[in-house]
Amino acid sequence: MKKKLLATLLSVSMVMGIAACGSSTAESTTTGSDTTAAQTESTTSTESTDSSASADAAAIDTSEHVVINYMTTGDPPEAGSEKEANLNEMLDKLNAILTEKVNAELQIYYIPWTDYLSNYNLTLARMDGSVDLVGTASDWLDAWPNAKNGAFLELSEDMLKTYAPQTWASVPADHWDLCKYNGEIYLIPEDNYAQWTNHGWIYRLDWAKEAGLANGVHSWEDMTTYVKWCKENKTDLKYVWDSDGTQYSQMANGWIASHTNFVPIDGICSGALWGGTKDDLYTITVPAMTETESLVEYAKLMKEWAEAGIWPTDVLNNTSGSNRDEFRVGDVAVEQHHTQTWTDLCSATPANTIFQDDPEAEVGFFYWGEETQNVVALSITHGAMAVSAGSANPERALMVYDLLRNDPECYKLFCYGIEGKSWELDSNGLRTTPASYNSETENINGMTNYWWGRNDDLEIKDATRNWDAIDKLYAEYDKIKIDYPYGQFVPEVDSIQGKIDNCNEQYTNYMKQISFGLYNGSAEDIVAEMQAALKTAGVDDVTAELQAQFDALYK
């Protein structure tokens, strides 16, 4: 019997927080929302390619049975384990369908999380035919460098129309444009799946109302009112926020998003120092250098929070804290993370005992950028599928992907598992789990790691989620969002990498002090010191080089 699972035998330890959210529990709780009007319009226009593509598809020779190897990041189930057995049971059912429809079967090739990026790129560089479909991303899995280096196959329009016709018809023309390098398509975007990884403050809405914020928290000023009220009135809390001290950069970015129209470029450095603005997307700016008055205000406010005792005094050394779990049980009043995490924390799941302990409990979300309506949607190539240039069966690989993305039976098997065993529908048509379900061994979504072609048209809403609140917030986002504008930008940084690293190091050192109010002297002094350090580190040289590359690409 053919082995259903392929795994690179690398060391197995998970690196957290890389897939933005691809690896988070909340990531699997999708919206099941309808396709947007823009997508629907484009689908109509692209369906003009149908008749010739259908004729070509009917003539495809699938007489030879082939194995398609799908490469994804993630740790494989332990060999011989119940978890592996459950995955193989699902793959048996899936492969029976794939065999019937396109005479192919799917195997999973895992790149474990330990040193994942190096091993991912090395596997692609071998070009030995060991992988066919490749899960990739422009912002965390080197999609464009791999395309540039020849690791991915060029996907012509005729090839996509013929072998992945449903996908071709559903992706708008402007989205295909964002998947091109040097005029050729290399990626298939995950562009019909609602996920939001914009950060903000997660808080107790019921407590905010007690604090006099009848409509909840909608600004940093409201948040200050809330945290100070909690400190004074919720005296049984462990802390208002039991921060582990790692969020300094996210907080600073959140302040900037809330007070400017800055749009950062992903992937230059962890501090997100460089970007454009909504008014002028392709002129590089550095808010850390230009928004002096605002940053001084931020430094003063964070000193105020620190002096009020909002977080532990040893916050930067607080490595043992588990704030999210503490929030779930009501021991803290604040969590800082992204929207997908809030969709979990605002829902009455068994882990969130605050709802069991207090029927009046509510969890709100103040998203950064709310005051300025500065919200940028996740890049559609944050998750994307590519075909290895070394694939022996690229056409059949596309046919398999087209089924995984668009065929309801294949999609549900691959994303949720076997109905009745890993999931079932309740009386409202929502997805729930059987009483016998064991999340440790039967969570198929956590084994297939399919973050490269999820489709809201086929998603089934998770019954455990608070959809009234979630849908309301997502609708608000949809009204104000802009698409991520830099998806095709592949920065050439070899000549400036040292200066980027130096700038990021200086920014990190100063933002640790500023964001947690741990600096000496005045707010004006610490901001001035940071800006001087950035200048010495070469921030102007990096800005000039990035601007030249922007001009070449966009102007």
Q: For 326-354, how does the pLDDT look when each residue is reduced to its tens digit (9 = 90+)?
A: 999 999 999 999 999 999 999 999 999 99
Return the pLDDT at 320: 74
Residue 544's nearest CA partner among 483, 485, 503 is 503
Domains defined for the chain, CATH in brackets:
66-194+380-459 (3.40.190.10), 199-377+488-554 (3.40.190.10)
* Rounded-to-5 percentages of helix, strand, coil across the chain: 45, 15, 40
SS3 call for 18 = coil
Residue 28 is given by DSSP the state G
Return the pLDDT at 428: 94
152 burial class (0-12, 13-18, 19+ CB within 10 angstroms)? buried
Say what angle helices 292-307 and 523-537 make with each other, to 10 degrees: 130
Q: For 411-426, how does the pLDDT look when each residue is reduced to its tens digit (9 = 90+)?
A: 999 999 999 999 999 9
Q: What would the mean pLDDT of 232-241 be, rounded to a whole number?
A: 97
> DSSP readout, 297-329?
HHHHHHHHHHHTT-S-TTGGG-TT--HHHHHHT
Return the pLDDT at 487: 86
How confident is residue 22, by pLDDT bands cut at 50, 70 and 90?
very low
Return the pLDDT at 59: 78
Judged against a pLDDT cut of 90, whether residue 66 lies above it is answered with yes
Q: What would the mean pLDDT of 3-28 be, rounded to a whole number?
A: 37
Q: For 129-161, how does the pLDDT look when each residue is reduced to its tens digit (9 = 90+)?
A: 999 999 999 988 999 989 999 999 999 999 999
Judged against a pLDDT cut of 60, whether residue 213 lies above it is answered with yes
Beta strands 133-136; 66-73: pairing state = parallel
pLDDT, greater one: 155 or 14: 155
How confident is residue 539, by pLDDT bands cut at 50, 70 and 90?
very high
Q: What would the mean pLDDT of 380-385 be, rounded to a whole number?
A: 95
Distance separating alpha carbons of residues 123 and 72, to the nearest angstrom: 11
Judged against a pLDDT cut of 50, whether residue 110 lies above it is answered with yes
Indicate the pTM of the whole model. Answer: 0.84
How confident is residue 29, by pLDDT bands cut at 50, 70 and 90?
very low
Judged against a pLDDT cut of 60, whether residue 232 lies above it is answered with yes
Return the pLDDT at 490: 83
Return the pLDDT at 56: 55
| Contact criterion met (CB below 8 Å) for 229 and 256 | no
pLDDT, greater one: 6 or 435: 435
Q: What would the mean pLDDT of 382-409 be, rounded to a whole number?
A: 97
